[in-house]
Amino acid sequence: MELATSLGDPSPGRARDEVAICARAQGALVSGTSFTLVGLNVAPQAGSAAAAGSGGQEGAGMEEVPQDCPGTSSAQAGKGASCQGCPNQRLCASGAGAAPDPAIEEIREKMRTVKHKILVLSGKGGVGKSTFSAHLAYGLAEDESKQIALLDIDICGPSIPKMMGLEGEQVHQSGSGWSPVYVEENLGVMSVGFLLGSPDDAVIWRGPKKNGMIKQFLRDVDWGEIDYLIVDTPPGTSDEHLSIVQYLSAAHIDGAVIITTPQEVSLQDVRKEINFCHKVKLPIIGVVENMSGFICPKCKNESQIFPPTTGGAEVMCQDLKVPLLGKVPLDPQIGKSCDNGQSFLTEVPDSPATLAYRNIIQSKCLKHVNNYLIKNISLWFTVLSYLIS
Amino acid sequence: METAQETGNLTGIRQIILVLSGKGGVGKSTISTELALALRHSGKKVGILDVDLCGPSIPRMLKVQDKAVHQCDNGWVPVFVDQEQTISLMSVGFLLEKPDEAVVWRGPKKNALIKQFVSDVVWGDLDYLIVDTPPGTSDEHISAVEALRPYKPLGAILVTTPQAISVGDVRRELTFCKKTGLRVIGIVENMSGFICPHCSECTNLFSKGGGEELARHAKVPFLGCVPLDPQLTKSLEEGQDFIQEFPKSPAFPAFISITQQILDGMLAQTS
């Protein structure tokens, strides 16, 4: 597929400048499409939404689904009211749509040169996923013999370019695909932020377009030989998360690091994320509790800005039987370093937060990945026991 | 028929406010909740529609996480937070069997539920409907704006934290408002500064002033700064009415002033 036309939209004949703003999304906004309830049968009884949720992985194989598409692999495919007039109606009705996406195989081929793949997830926003991803990448890249790649699939709110000091950089194209932007020789970064013309540009995209972009990031970027691919995600359990797991399903993901803050409002979303991991059979490397306690720089007393009213990540990890990788205290320096696009680990090497980060990155995270096979067995037991209970 | 009923369920609402942010965890749900409580404090009747389908926080913040939604002839009855029925709430949280259940939905399903929330919930007469959104500029936002567009007046409050990373995402959200023709009521800067309870030293944990600067740059009103306040976090965790319980806390005057500006804005608009 030619990269220039496929930028931002896998279907041919679409204007290239749509990477910045999706004309389709805007068009849909102005015209106000008609609405039929297909594939979702929400009744007020408890549990109905959950039941519908289990079918939520459908419709994954298609790129340009209409808003009310029942999904290519559902029983309704090609038969629903909204399928009338869809160019793919016959294809869907024949059942061909349920076949796996050929891209999965292509991505597996591409990912052969990538040894480890780690996802950074959280159900809650603003807990420090990007900060952790960026610093995991920085930390790992300190070993010059290792090649690190950082992929940002937060399509609507890409923070990684700024955190890595790469704002305003552009992606270059070569015969073998898009080239990542390099911070150091052994640290390459890819983000939708590099494809935007101005920092004001909003990526107003619905799910299918975001999925297309993620597929391209995996298939069409010239990653080269990589030891660790770290994937930073947006909050939630929706399109981006399903897509990355699905596209990498044949390529094998080592596992997910889940980030949370100590308060219950955050933990309740993180429990959902852990459930998501179980549902899609994604191994959990462990949980990191961020923003845990603040030490006043003047009086050195500690305050709980986000109080762990239900015991914080520690109790949650015990309850759900997932490992706790560590706790990182709040430090105003972290935010400042991220704003300046510098590695906090080298900027303030002796801060307690740096030590906590290093501890997680060097000993635990890697050990878990390296001991993946052993770990995986126990994780499977966790998953099994969860399913049985 | 459907159109007629849709109009029926939303005509009793005088103003709709969307709470948006490009960034997650900046306090959209917190601002939505406190705004509702503060508006009630001023004698208004408020509804909250939580369209964050993958991470609904409002039910817990208002301590109604165990309640259920009922159906009547006209549609779904929202959950009332108090006896007097001054705050009503609709959230996907009420539809889940288990609280930890993950809503693993792609866009089309989310859009369908949001449209149902807009058309089928029987809000009755409300002064304000506050719509709490997930972070970003994607399915939920396009669908919510699309579905609510016919009901004016419609406006958006943008929430940010002071640091550049967050302001960057909110800049994109401003572009979203511009593109969709959504009126921006103003920007709120949350988590600006933390006053140490031990020594009263103010630390700007996430720096300061980013929201105000952005408002000036984008020529939209700046509604105010809400400081980091452990009492606020605590009352949200426990589902207490912060506005009622902690009138002496540093975040209290901030919320009252923001609410007053919204009330004034509405007066100016209707007169």
User: Is the Cβ pair A280, B163 closer than 8 Å?
Assistant: no
Give percent of chain A with pLDDT exceeding 70.
Answer: 73
Mean pLDDT (whole number) for A148-163: 96
What is the complex's ipTM, to 2 decimals? 0.89
Give the closest residue to A18 by CA, choosing from A28, A30, A6.
Answer: A6
Q: Has residue B77 been placed in a domain? A: yes
Q: Has residue B183 been placed in a domain? A: yes
Kindly report the nearest CA distance between residue A176 and chain B, in angstroms: 31
Tokens matching residue B55: 């991470």
- According to the model, what pLDDT value does residue A88 have? 74
Cα gap B54→B46, rounded to integer Å: 23
Cα gap A267→A270, rounded to integer Å: 5
Give the closest residue to A373 by CA, choosing from A254, A284, A278.
Answer: A254
Supply the angle between the helices B28-41 and B230-238 in degrees, to the nearest 10.
80
**Contact status, residue B115 vs residue B147, Cβ threshold 8 Å:** yes
Cβ-in-10-Å burial (0-12, 13-18, 19+) of B12 comes to middle
Residue A113, CB-side half-sphere exposure with 13 Å CA sphere: 14
Question: Quick check: helix, strand or coil at residue A62?
Answer: coil
Is the confidence at residue A90, as pLDDT, over 80? no
Domain count along chain B: 1
Find the CATH number of the domain harbouring B234: 3.40.50.300
For A272-318, write each residue's pLDDT tens digit: 999 999 999 999 999 999 999 898 888 888 888 898 999 999 999 99
Question: Quick check: helix, strand or coil at residue B151?
Answer: coil
Question: Quick check: helix, strand or coil at residue B39?
Answer: helix
Q: Has residue B7 been placed in a domain? A: no
Given B104, B172, B175, which is nearest A157 (Cβ)? Answer: B172
Q: Does B76 touch chain A (CB under 8 A)?
A: yes
Q: Has residue B53 been placed in a domain? A: yes
Kindly report the nearest CA distance between residue A307 and chain B, in angstroms: 7
- How far, in Å, are A119, A292, A323, B124 from residue A287 at the CA level? 12, 13, 6, 44
Distance between start and end Cα atoms, chain B: 33
Q: Has residue B194 been placed in a domain? A: yes
Would you tell me how many other CB atoms lie within 10 Å of the CB of residue A87? 8
User: Which residues have CB under 8 Å from A215's CB, separation 6+?
Assistant: A10, A103, A107, A243, A247
Q: Give the DSSP H/E element, type plus range, for residue A240.
A: helix A239-247
Residues in chain B within 8 Å Cβ distance of A130: 165
- According to the model, what pLDDT value does residue A274 have? 96
Mean pLDDT (whole number) for B150-177: 92
Cα gap A355→A346, rounded to integer Å: 11
Q: Has residue B5 been placed in a domain? A: no
User: Is the Cβ pair B96, A309 closer than 8 Å?
Assistant: no
User: Is the Cβ pair B146, A304 closer than 8 Å?
Assistant: no
Tokens matching residue A261: 């803050």
Q: Has residue B59 been placed in a domain? A: yes
User: Is the Cβ pair A206, B168 closer than 8 Å?
Assistant: no
- According to the model, what pLDDT value does residue B195 have? 83
Beta strands at B46-50 and B87-91: parallel, antiparallel or unpaired: parallel
Tokens matching residue A197: 């013309």
What is the residue range of B156's domain? 13-268
- How far, in Å, are A145, A365, A375, A377 from residue A372 at the CA level? 21, 10, 5, 9
> Is residue A124 a known part of a binding site?
yes
Q: Does B217 touch chain A (CB under 8 A)?
A: no
Is the confidence at residue A37, as pLDDT, over 50? no
Tokens matching residue A72: 């290519």
Higher pLDDT: B5 or A381? It is A381
**Contact status, residue A117 vs residue A253, Cβ threshold 8 Å:** yes
Would you tell me how many other CB atoms lie within 10 Å of the CB of residue A317? 21
The CA-based diameter of chain A, rounded to the nearest angstrom, is: 71
User: Which residues have CB under 8 Å from A184's CB, separation 6+?
Assistant: A141
> Is residue A296 a known part of a binding site?
yes
Is the confidence at residue A12, as pLDDT, over 50? no
Give the closest residue to A127 by CA, choosing from A300, A327, A366, A302.
Answer: A327
Mean pLDDT (whole number) for B7-13: 80
Peptide bond into B78 cis (omega under 30): no
Q: Does B95 touch chain A (CB under 8 A)?
A: yes
User: Is the Cβ pair B22, A266 closer than 8 Å?
Assistant: no
Would you tell me how many other CB atoms lie within 10 Å of the CB of residue A228? 23
- According to the model, what pLDDT value does residue A313 have? 96
Mean pLDDT (whole number) for B53-79: 93
Rounding to the nearest 10 degrees, give the CA dihedral for residues B82, B87, B92, B93. Answer: -30
User: Is the Cβ pair B25, A127 closer than 8 Å?
Assistant: yes
Mean pLDDT (whole number) for A172-181: 90
- According to the model, what pLDDT value does residue B216 have? 95
Cα gap A335→B174, rounded to integer Å: 23
- How far, in Å, are A58, A98, A155, A276 from residue B97 at the CA level? 21, 29, 31, 15
> Which of B:167-206 have CB within 8 Å of A?
168-169, 171-176, 179-180, 194, 196-199, 201, 203-206
- According to the model, what pLDDT value does residue A197 have? 87
Residue type, B176: F
Q: For chain B, where are the alpha helices, taking DSSP H only?
A: 2-10, 28-41, 58-61, 107-120, 139-148, 164-180, 210-218, 230-238, 242-245, 251-270
Place of tokens 């929400």: A42
Higher pLDDT: A33 or A166? It is A166
Q: Give the DSSP H/E element, type plus range, for residue B84.
A: none
Split at pLDDT 50, 70, 90, the class of A145 is very high
Q: Give the DSSP H/E element, type plus range, for residue A318.
A: helix A312-320
Mean pLDDT (whole number) for B265-271: 70
Higher pLDDT: A20 or B52? It is B52
**Model pTM?**
0.82
Tokens matching residue A65: 């689904």
Query: Which residue positions of B form the known binding site for ATP?
Result: 22-29
- According to the model, what pLDDT value does residue A48 have? 35
Cα gap B37→B25, rounded to integer Å: 20
**Contact status, residue B52 vs residue B93, Cβ threshold 8 Å:** no
Chain-centroid distance, C-alpha A371: 23
- How far, in Å, are A275, B29, B173 from residue B247 at the CA level? 39, 20, 32
Mean pLDDT (chain A) is 79
Residue B31, CB-side half-sphere exposure with 13 Å CA sphere: 36
Domains and CATH numbers, chain A: 105-377 (3.40.50.300)
Chain B contact probe: residue of A37, A240, A244, A265 with most B CBs at under 10 A = A265
Q: Does B11 touch chain A (CB under 8 A)?
A: no
Q: Has residue B4 been placed in a domain? A: no
**Residue of chain A whose Cα is closest to the Cα of B24:** A125
